[in-house]
Structure 1
Amino acid sequence: MSDQKWSVTDDSVFLFPQEDDLTADDIKEMVKQNQTYTENRYKVARQFYKGHHPILDKQKKSDIDKPDNCLVVNYPKYIVDTFNGFFDGIPPKITLDDEDLNTSLQDFVNYNSLLDLIFEASKQVSIYGRSYFYIYQNEDKKTCVTVVDPIHSFIIYDDTVAKKAKGFVMYSYDSDNNLSGQVCLTDGLYDIELGNKTANVYKNIPAIEFFENEERQGTFENIETLVNGVNNALSQKANDVEYFADAYMKILGSEVDEDTLKQIKDNHIINLASQDGQDVVVEFMEKPNADGEQENLINRLNNLIFQISMVANISDDTFGNAASGVSLQYKLLSMRNLASNKERKFTKSLRKLFEIVFSTGNVIPSNKAEEWQNVKFKFTRNLPSNLVEEAQTAATLSGITSQETQLSTLSIVDDPKSEIDQISEDQKRDAEPVNKDTVNYNFGSSQNSNNGDSSDDKSKEDN
């Protein structure tokens, strides 16, 4: 009977008993399991995204005289890039209400180019079904974040209902197939043999998993067979085009020698006499034509690909002919639903990120570590913006909502808080010359008034 303590779900989520300690043998066995999943899923998905589809690996036909095209339509890349451009093409806004803490937060975001890392993690999630953020301290003792793909890494969760992270493994194989890597536990960072311990300043697993659904499915995982169908249909269609280009002429009822064939080719004129009173038939042979069936199949597969993936085909002519904004919204409804679900999952993971980052006191003061709960995330769908309509909406909200909410409706405003500060500074600067003019104007009026009174008194004296 096996004494293996750990288990793995069909979605490749590693589970380990909460009360037990991980051993080096456990880690190595999990690495082997992750390698199996990497070969069967992650690398296949990566090749699909990069345009290397199974049709390119098929065995070529033995008859070299027949056309054998292998065409690839890279739907996976189009779907991943379109969906992530829609979801995260406009960088999310990450803010804190406290002005001083928000300044420190923005410094951390800018130092790590965090918005770019979020986009990269989003793309990896769409390709592999999951991605990881790894947190570490650099040589300057600054808190840093990087994106790690799941091909050579995984998180181990405990087997409780909460499924808290128990460890994070990053590994690699050298040219001699020797295994090396790092295991991150709450009490320290170890090598793959759980030796050479170094400090873990976070007192937590410094890694967070990002995914867009609990099944850890990529955006195009459910349409791979449909993509293969399109590739096969288009390749066969290309074969047919080449096949029909090689037209065969049949001549019945007359024997044609080589000289006559040459004259026909050179002069493009056919003049043949019948033999034995038979009629001479000269015509091109008709070949089977399945063009209509092929077109119907390709169109149906194309429609199913976008329906199943829930990503809008923006290049479709009918998409751009939406009669109104409401009809356009309906065309984007499925992709909006997909993006909303991904946003909730990403918000949860990002909040966990800041819980770990704030725990060290390097980003914000240690006594403010609980502020991770107050970090706000605002994701904006990347749609064509109408600045006039946005400005009208913002103006309508004046006096109804806070100024920050009012400004957040404008796509051109990246940070509403800093924009409010800038507005305040502009108002102060604009107010200064107005006050001076007012003083000068009053002073001038006073002078004019006094001068006028003096003139009147002088006139009276003259009288």
Structure 2
Amino acid sequence: MQKVNEFEYGEDTHHQISKSFQQLYGPAANRSYRANSAEEILDDVNKLISMIRDHHEVQCPRLAALDDYIKARNSGIYNDDSRRHEEERADHRAAHNFAKVIIAFDVGYNTGVPIKKDSDDEQVNNIIAEYDKANDMEALDSELWRDMKKYGRAYELQYRNGQDRDRSVISDVFETFVCYGLDVERTPLFAVRYPQYQVGTQEFTTVTVYTDKEIITYKPCQMNALKLEEEKREAHFWGEVPITEYSPDRYRMSGYEDVIPLIDLYDAAQSDTANYMTDLNEATLIITGDLNLKKYTVDDLTKMKKANLMLLANGINPDGSRSQTDAKYIYKQYDVTGAEAYKERLQKDIHKISFVPDLTDDSFSGTQSGEAMKYKLFGFQQMAKTGQRGFKKGLMRRYRLLLNIKKYVNEADNTDLGSLNISFTPNLPKAVLEELKTLVDSGMEISQETLMSLASFIEDVKAELEKIEEEKKKESDPVMEAMFGNRMQQDSESGEE
């Protein structure tokens, strides 16, 4: 092909097009595992091995990439080897942790105030309260929500320990998955945990399968050569598969997954700005004069380039005379206004598409009214409601399993969850004083207990009320009044004299 035709066919370009997150990880990296029955998979060890390998090799890389973005290890900027072609040029790479900002806001909004669980059955309330206290459920719920929004899925394992105490723990998404049935209700058939550990340079795993009736444990084996040999089986009495999957919706997408391409663009733009500023400080000096360039070799010219110095021969003017000797610096011109507007637009798009407001925006000033703030959060609140519905399903399943085991060990009557109500309280700043004043001015009566609950320095409202009652009793005690009443009267009389 002639040189002149290379432009038409684009064969003279060396720019590499990097794939976006969505191109790298397709639907197969986020699909749910399904089967006709648990026996279909568990009776054939090779099918189980194939399912574990698929999770480890196809699904875990996507989860690892999502985990990297929340830890400022953005693969889009750090793994792009085509950004710089010249070694002497700056190659700064700056990752911006938008993913952390998005998840921190989401987790704080939905779980900053503990999730409330309330039933009409007092026995159920007592069982749940005891279980939540024993497992520090406020922290666990928050971490489950974090995993759910970070990976699009979260797993909770329930078990009964050696002290006959019921426990809930998070099971790592990198080593856990659930296989569902083909029915419309997507009934969990079994769950798999394969925690990995390393001995020297070899990686091992212990595979455990949880069905609705038993726990099957296999002998430890190497991860790169899975060979499952059953070690033991033991029955459990939770009534269902004791691993619960939490997901915000049926798509199981991360809270920042769809804005990762925009984060990559912002990283690239900020990195290019940093590279420009560095290269500007090392601008190339061009000296044009009456020079004999024939005596310079290619190596000499390369050394000049590394030293940011170029020697050029004079040109010839139209009248035949040589051009004037000149010396100047050359550098790439930078459109400050255009570049900053581009980065600002990217930043706004990230917040707009993720529905997470930019709290550093001027529109979030302290003078905004509560109603105005609600409108700014309207889009995020709609998305939060979707996540809350998905999370509630997981919580309802958690407490249903809890009642199953309590009934089996005779620690609960033959009861069910009944009208268990799970409610979320948005963790947002509130203008309590303004609201309280408005209600009082309108004639509303508020109890002392409610008023005390609004005070930040009172931890236990009931204990404070009891103290007040005790003080009132002391003041009305006839013995105390006889002892201190006469003395107060004598003091007043002596004061008058």
- CA–CA separation in structure 2 for the residues paired with 1:412 and 1:341: 31
Q: Are the counterparts in 2 of residues 358 and 364 from structure 1 also a CA contact under 8 Å?
A: no
User: Aligned-pair distance for 1:409?
Assistant: 9.4
Paired position in structure 2 for 1:222: 258
Percent identity of the aligned residues? 20
Q: Are the counterparts in 1 of residues 148 and 248 from structure 2 also a CA contact under 8 Å?
A: yes
- CA–CA separation in structure 2 for the residues paired with 1:83 and 1:134: 24
Alpha-carbon displacement from aligned partner over 1:125-161 (angstroms, at most 9, x marks no partner): 1111100111001110100000112211011111101
Q: Are the counterparts in 2 of residues 95 and 106 from structure 1 also a CA contact under 8 Å?
A: no
Q: Structure 1 residues 121 and 228 mapped into 2: Cα distance closer, same or farther (>3 Å)?
A: same
User: Aligned-pair distance for 1:105?
Assistant: 2.7
Bigger drift between 115-124 and 37-46 goes to 37-46
User: Aligned-pair distance for 1:345?
Assistant: 1.5
Q: Are the counterparts in 1 of residues 119 and 418 from structure 2 also a CA contact under 8 Å?
A: no
Q: Structure 1 residues 340 and 316 mapped into 2: Cα distance closer, same or farther (>3 Å)?
A: same
Q: Secondary structure at the match of 1:196?
A: strand
Q: Structure 1 residues 247 and 21 mapped into 2: Cα distance closer, same or farther (>3 Å)?
A: closer
Paired position in structure 2 for 1:457: none
- CA–CA separation in structure 1 for the residues paired with 2:451 and 2:54: 50
Is 1:17 aligned to 2:22, yes or no? no
Q: Structure 1 residues 18 and 137 mapped into 2: Cα distance closer, same or farther (>3 Å)?
A: same
Q: Are the counterparts in 1 of residues 30 and 59 from structure 2 also a CA contact under 8 Å?
A: no
Bigger drift between 107-116 and 380-389 goes to 380-389
Paired position in structure 2 for 1:44: 65
Alpha-carbon displacement from aligned partner over 1:9-66 (angstroms, at most 9, x marks no partner): 7742111114854423332221112113333311111111111112223337453211
Alpha-carbon displacement from aligned partner over 1:68-90 (angstroms, at most 9, x marks no partner): 11111111111111221122122
- CA–CA separation in structure 2 for the residues paired with 1:384 and 1:316: 17
- CA–CA separation in structure 2 for the residues paired with 1:440 and 1:279: 111
Q: Structure 1 residues 349 and 254 mapped into 2: Cα distance closer, same or farther (>3 Å)?
A: same
Is 1:74 aligned to 2:97, yes or no? yes
Structure 2 counterparts to residues 57-96 of structure 1, below 5 A: 57-59=79-81, 61=84, 63-96=86-119
- CA–CA separation in structure 2 for the residues paired with 1:25 and 1:282: 74
Is 1:240 aligned to 2:297, yes or no? no
Paired position in structure 1 for 2:178: 155
Structure 2 counterparts to residues 433-444 of structure 1, below 5 A: 433=474, 436=477
Gaps of 5+ in 1: 1-7, 256-275, 445-463
Q: Matched residue pairs, number?
A: 411
- CA–CA separation in structure 1 for the residues paired with 2:245 and 2:442: 38
Q: Are the counterparts in 2 of residues 171 and 181 from structure 1 also a CA contact under 8 Å?
A: yes
Q: Secondary structure at the match of 1:167?
A: strand
Q: Are the counterparts in 1 of residues 28 and 58 from structure 2 also a CA contact under 8 Å?
A: no
Paired position in structure 2 for 1:453: none
Aligned residue type for 2:391:
F
Is 1:352 aligned to 2:397, yes or no? yes
Q: Secondary structure at the match of 1:168?
A: strand
User: Aligned-pair distance for 1:293?
Assistant: 2.8
Q: Secondary structure at the match of 2:418?
A: helix
Q: Are the counterparts in 2 of residues 394 and 409 from structure 1 also a CA contact under 8 Å?
A: no
- CA–CA separation in structure 2 for the residues paired with 1:73 and 1:206: 38
* Root-mean-square deviation (Å): 3.7
Q: Structure 1 residues 389 and 321 mapped into 2: Cα distance closer, same or farther (>3 Å)?
A: closer
User: Aligned-pair distance for 1:397?
Assistant: 11
Q: Structure 1 residues 162 and 438 mapped into 2: Cα distance closer, same or farther (>3 Å)?
A: farther
Aligned residue type for 2:336:
D
TM-score, length-normalised on structure 2? 0.72
Q: Are the counterparts in 2 of residues 407 and 413 from structure 1 also a CA contact under 8 Å?
A: no
Q: Secondary structure at the match of 1:146?
A: strand
Q: Secondary structure at the match of 2:114?
A: strand
User: Aligned-pair distance for 1:241?
Assistant: 0.9
TM-score, length-normalised on structure 1? 0.77
- CA–CA separation in structure 2 for the residues paired with 1:353 and 1:136: 11
Paired position in structure 2 for 1:449: none
Q: Are the counterparts in 2 of residues 134 and 208 from structure 1 also a CA contact under 8 Å?
A: yes
Aligned residue type for 1:12:
R
Gaps of 5+ in 2: 1-26, 219-228, 292-320, 486-497
Q: Are the counterparts in 1 of residues 35 and 179 from structure 2 also a CA contact under 8 Å?
A: yes
**Which residue of 341, 361, 369 maps to 1:324?**
369
- CA–CA separation in structure 2 for the residues paired with 1:236 and 1:381: 39
- CA–CA separation in structure 2 for the residues paired with 1:88 and 1:297: 35
Q: Structure 1 residues 309 and 414 mapped into 2: Cα distance closer, same or farther (>3 Å)?
A: farther
Alpha-carbon displacement from aligned partner over 1:254-306 (angstroms, at most 9, x marks no partner): 88xxxxxxxxxxxxxxxxxxxx9976655544642233332222111111111
Q: Are the counterparts in 1 of residues 286 and 327 from structure 2 also a CA contact under 8 Å?
A: yes
Q: Secondary structure at the match of 1:243?
A: helix
